[in-house]
Amino acid sequence: MTSPPARGPVLTVTLNLALDVTYVTGDVDWDGVNRVGAVHRRAGGKGVNVARVLAALGCEVLVTGLAGGPNGEAALADLAAAGLPTALTPISGPSRATLAVHDHGRAPGRTALFNEPGPLVTEDEIGRFLSDYEARLGGAAAVVISGSLPSGVSPRLYAELAARARAHGVPAVVDADGEPLRHAPGGRPEIVKPNAEELARALALSGPQEAHGPGTGPGAAVRGAQVLRRSGARAVVVSLGADGLLAVTPEGAWRAAMPYRVEGNPTGAGDALVAGLTLGLVEGTPWPERLRRAAALGAAAVAAPVAGDFDADVLREVHPGVRVEAEPV
């Protein structure tokens, strides 16, 4: 795999930074006491996970966003230990913690997630972040804007961040849910990446005129992707779970299908997929190959124990077998 051109770092934006705690155990008794086999504690949030994968692929990154309190300090220390450059804007409220319980005692394994909502962020703190963000856009190769928003932040902020990036000639990738996803195309991002359920929710929020029928299969995903493209997104990539990956772009539409199902911890698979799409965007990789690598990275992340990692052996094995075919629109 080739490295991206040396234009500058990919900025990842994580406004709801987390200290991720993962318990790996077996045969969880939800009514009793459980012994934990392994514990992983590390900085998290979707943008952080994307940055970890991009860095492992040889891409220069800069982690931006908001951090505060003991969890924020612990996350900063972990990022420094991992060698990931950061430019996080300090806030007074404490960054959240998340807990993932991965039960591998029963095939194919199950993972339960417990996500705290995050701190209350003031208008002044958002203003400081926006100043920091604007100052760093000039040298960026791309921007990844992903994850949930903490309390006090407008759901239109992701659209504003994408628009500011575009004004600097920097392509933006947005991975969001709910109202932030609904508004995101207004900032004219280069890529919007929902999963099928997130896409359906965004269309429902947009009103009955955008509801093109029930379901989250490929047909519904194509129709929903076209709605987001008409709203301003240049390309829309939809995760379809077992049905693969769908991209609707100005160059055409494609669907990627996995050669087989990879079992493991799905937490962070979508972030690895976004990293693959972003790397392809920076490199200018044609869409079919961009989808093939992104889908393979998502599968390789499932095979890794914690979010932000991927299994390189699985990536090498799965990548050639991903089938990408043109999709009618």
Active site residues: 271
Tokens standing for residue 6: 């040396």
Task: Give Cα 61 distance to the centre of its chain.
Answer: 15
**Nearest 5 degrees, angle CA 314-CA 318-CA 319?**
115
Q: In this structure, are strands 172-175 and 323-326 parallel, antiparallel, or unpaired?
A: unpaired
User: 142, 7 in Cβ contact below 8 A?
Assistant: no
| Host H or E run for residue 325 | strand 323-326
Q: Which residue has the tokens 């990789």?
A: 285
Phi, psi (rounded to 5 degrees) for 313: -65, -40
- What is the distance between the alpha carbons of residues 195 and 150, in angstroms, rounded to a whole number? 21
Residues 6+ apart with CB under 8 A from 286: none
Beta strands in 116-271 (DSSP E): 142-146, 172-175, 191-192, 235-239, 245-249, 252-257
